[in-house]
Amino acid sequence: MQWLRIRYARRGRARFTSHRDFARAFERALRRARVPMAYSSGFSPHPRISYANASPTGAASEAEYLEIGLASACDPDQVRVALDAALPTGLDVVAAQIAPGDSLADRLTGSRWRIDVVGVGVEDVERAIRSFLGRSSVEVSRMTKSGLRTFDVRAAVRDVKIQPGCLLVTLAHQVPLVRPDDVLTALADGDAGWRPTRPPVLTRLTQGTLEDETGVIVEPL
């Protein structure tokens, strides 16, 4: 069995698809593209697909990853082209290669996000960031499948940079996983709070192994 590691993007309106919606669309694309999938054994065989750390619904992404198991060897670039043509608009297969044999999940220890914000003054943003970075712990609460959960956001934030109209945020992956909207909630905490006049647009720019010393993210392809 051959394993391929695939990088895909969620763009435009496709960012509103849930992970379950994407999984269904991807399996249909595999059938339309005639990819020779390997299947699990048992009474209900299913295609061998391994997903890793999908972005939250509503967030765009240029760096989502999965692996597929094939019943016969294929050219990775041909699989990429065929799958990209079979997927709906906005779900794009960016790259594919033979999986190197390491654990994909273990390689994904950090992400860099762009948060587009409108209606917030630069001075307000800078003040909120200074207040946030100057604290050793900033807790936020979020509803999860197991109920309301409170966790520390500050420990996951490795870097925050201001660019015109947006923030660039580097996050270390931890348990529970801190999302960019959690960072926005934390920035709006206390006297230094600020709130954009429009819903922010979240985009994952890259994902991979976060080097602690340099802050560089090494992608798994």
- Domain final residue, candidates 82, 102, 122: 102
Q: Is residue 95 packed enough to be buried (19+ CB in 10 Å), middle (13-18) or exposed (0-12)?
A: middle
Residue 212: closest CA among 156, 167, 161, 168:
156
Residue 178: closest CA among 204, 208, 201, 157:
157
Number of domains in the chain: 2
At residue 196, the pLDDT reads 67
Same domain, 98 and 133: no
User: What confidence tens digit (pLDDT) does each residue in 143-165 have?
Assistant: 777 778 888 999 999 999 988 88
The domain of 80 spans: 2-102
- Checking if the pLDDT of 141 tops 90, the result is no
Same domain, 70 and 114: no
Same domain, 58 and 144: no
- Domain final residue, candidates 43, 72, 102: 102
At residue 186, the pLDDT reads 87
User: What confidence tens digit (pLDDT) does each residue in 67-78 have?
Assistant: 999 999 999 999
Same domain, 83 and 174: no
What is the three-class DSSP state of 202? Answer: strand
Same domain, 90 and 157: no
Residues 33-50 have a mean pLDDT of 90
User: What confidence tens digit (pLDDT) does each residue in 160-209 have?
Assistant: 998 888 899 999 998 888 999 898 888 877 555 566 667 888 999 999 99
Confidence of residue 14 (pLDDT cuts 50, 70, 90): very high
At residue 194, the pLDDT reads 66
Same domain, 77 and 174: no
Distance of CA 114 to the CA centre of its chain: 11
Tokens of 212: 């602690």
Q: What is the pTM of this model?
A: 0.88
- Domain final residue, candidates 46, 81, 102: 102
- Checking if the pLDDT of 37 tops 90, the result is yes
Residue 184 sits in a domain whose CATH number is 3.30.70
Least confident of 11-20, 47-56, 143-152, 206-215: 143-152
- Checking if the pLDDT of 121 tops 80, the result is no
Least confident of 38-47, 64-73, 122-131, 157-166: 122-131
Number of alpha helices (DSSP H) and beta strands (DSSP E) in the chain: 5, 11
Same domain, 55 and 115: no
